[in-house]
Amino acid sequence: MAAHMSRKEILGKVHKMVPPMLEKFHKGQLGRVAVIGGSEDYTGAPYFSAMASARLGCDMSHVICEPSAGMVIKTYSPNLMVHPYMRQEKNMAKHETIESITEPIIAMLDRLHVIVIGPGLGRDAAMQETCARVLKEARKRSVGFVLDADGLLLVQKQPDLVQGYKECILTPNVVEFGRLAKSQKIDTDEGDPSKVCEKLAQALGGVTIIQKGKVDYISNGSYTLVSDGEGGLKRSGGQGDTLTGTLATLLAYRKAYLERLWDHENDMAPDELLAFAAYGGSAITRECSRLAFKEKGRSLQAADLTDYVHPAFLDLIGERSTDESKL
């Protein structure tokens, strides 16, 4: 069972889950991810998430955001596909409704492997309701998703959105974890913190939770992993966005593994793969932070982590050789 494996063994499993780079693959097979967030006040977060996803190897990285955010995000990188479909309540035109705003986003779901909801989302009622409706449709289509930041507010207020869904990962920090635990009547001061994370995962029907902190506790309610790799000492805002993007790509790789896009032993079950993806995302992000802090010191900013996503991946997971796919 994953809970009894060493760090090296778990990262070895992540290595096996990552697809090799094969000539037969076509565009999109190794990941189609969309980050849903980005309001007029927050444009960096969705960019950091989507770029982390792209730098880890996702083929197609989308951002679905507010028009004012979209214009800004497009200037950050030409590599991202930016869709200005979201609306804050104050910016809705008279003819627009939540239904009309949600429709083009839902139409994209069948073309996506994973969605990330939360980076730069904010707490605007229209933005929150749009995401709630998208999550309901994502579940119907078995699309994996990652929830962070204000996306977690949806779980706090509407736990049924994720209840029992095994294709999602929640990534709360200490404050967000406390709010989620309180909403489920769980005392965060009660005993071993890993057990508290496990209780919350159980209360939400076995979803996977990464409780971010000095170490990251990762639990699906059945077993708990501890990701304790060294990170950087600078706590600049936005580093968690690198985690969500990294997780999204690893979940896309998990889907490719389950669909047997390449020849492999097929010896890992869906729930194991989800735990390995969560651990891998945590480990890579912590290594990104360590590498960036080593270079930048106290001047480190969230944007600095982006350049270290691939080096961190190579350090911890390692590239797949094409020969491995023939095993």
What residue numbers does the annotated binding site cover? 120, 173-179, 212-216, 231-241
- Closest by CA to 241, choosing from 279, 276, 212, 202, is 212
For residue 126, what are the contacts with CB-CB under 8 A and spacing of at least 6?
Answer: 87, 88, 89, 92, 98, 101
Type of residue found at 206:
G
What residue numbers does the annotated binding site for (6S)-NADPHX cover? 120, 173-179, 241
Edge to edge, the sheet with strand 81-83 lists 81-83, 60-64, 32-36, 114-117, 144-147, 168-170, 208-211, 216-219, 224-227
Strand (E) positions, the chain?
32-36, 60-64, 81-83, 114-117, 144-147, 168-170, 208-211, 216-219, 224-227
Alpha-carbon torsion 156, 157, 160, 166, what sign?
A: negative
What residue numbers does the annotated binding site for ATP cover? 212-216, 231-240
Can you tell me whether residue 216 is helix, strand or coil? strand
230, two tokens: 């060294």
Type of residue found at 251:
L
Type of residue found at 37:
G
